[in-house]
Structures are given as structure tokens and as C-alpha cells.
Amino acid sequence: MPLTEVIQQYLLLGFTHVIPLGFDHILFVISIFFLNSNIKSVIIQCSVFTLAHSLSLGISTAGYIVPDTRIIEPLIAFSILIISIENILHSKISSYRLLIIFVFGLIHGMGFASALKEVGIPQNNFFSALLSFNIGVEVGQISVILLTYFLVSKWFSKEAWYKERIVFPISSVIGCIALYWTIERIFLG
């Protein structure tokens, strides 16, 4: 397969792994967004997440580690639960949150690797395919962030009731979904 085809195919694969197929990934990114909807803050958190999932995706896809999806999938759901709870309990980004996002990014990257292994990666264009997939995922994440910003935060984040009426309920719903997924993935895996 020509390099341009590989790049196009894996860019699209990465993007569609987030939108529309990655509902758990979308909820994680939205949860990152809602602690502090300042775009700079969100970009810092998402950059930490992207760095981490890029590392573990590369290491996993290259075969240096072989993640067990029976462990990774419940941990991905659990990571969404933890971030959504943090949105309710905290109002500022701390180095602790960035560390948690980094660790959860490592876990999410292993989940991405499982999806990539199902499709396969051409060995002669391994790094191009991996980089293209990662860029596609990043474009998907940025799309979710911008959509959330323009639909919700841009208009309401300065309001006194923003956290109480928007962040808390949305984070609670996301947390409930994530709790359900965690239990389901552990027991029905």
C-alpha cells in the first residue's frame, strides 16, 4: 500500500476511533474539559494525556508489552469515573491531576493498541501508520473539546451557576456511566 494511502487510512482510523466509535474516549475528554474550561487549561491536560497515550500506544503496538484487554478496558472506564469525580470535588488543576491524567493516558493508549492490532499495521510503514493514527485521535479529541467549548462553555462558564448547573450534573452522569462500564467490564468482560 502506498504511503499516502497508509497515512489517509490511519488518520481516518484514529479519528473514527474517537468520533463516533470512542464513546468512552469522548466522555474522558469531556471530563478533562469540565474541571476548568479555560482552553489553555484544557490543552495542557489533553497534551499530557496525548503524550502518555502516544507512548503506550507505540510501545504496545511495537509488541514490547502486550496489554490484557480484560484489565485495560475496566481501567479505562474507571479512569473516566475518577476524572468525573474530581470535577465535582475540585475546581483547579493540580500537578496531582496531571499525573493522574498521564497514568490514565498510558492505559488509554494500551486500549488504542488493542484496536490497532485488530486492524493491523503495515510493517513497511509502521511509524507512518502509528503517527497518522495518533494524529487522527488528536484531531478527534480537539474536535470534542471545541464542540464542548462552543456549545456550552463559551456561553455559560462565566456564570455563577455554571459549576452547579452544568459541570456537576454532566460530571455526575458521566461518572454513573463510567461506574456502570467499570462493573460491566469487570464481570462481563
Taking the chain (189 residues) in runs of 10, the rounded mean pLDDT of each run is: 90 92 92 85 87 92 88 95 93 84 94 82 88 92 92 89 94 97 90
Contact 170, 151 (CB under 8 A): no
Domain range holding 52? Answer: 3-187
Does the pTM of the predicted model rise above 0.95?
Answer: no
Alpha carbons 35 and 33: distance in angstroms, whole number: 6
pLDDT at site 147 = 93
Contact 53, 106 (CB under 8 A): yes
Contact 53, 112 (CB under 8 A): yes
Neighbours of 96 (CB within 10 A): 10
Q: Grid coordinates standing for 137?
A: 485521535
Number of domains in the chain: 1
Residues 6 or more apart from 182 whose CB is under 8 A from it? 74, 77, 78, 81
Q: Output the CA–CA distances (angstroms, integers) from residue 50 to 47, 90, 93, 151, 159, in the order listed.
A: 5, 22, 17, 23, 30
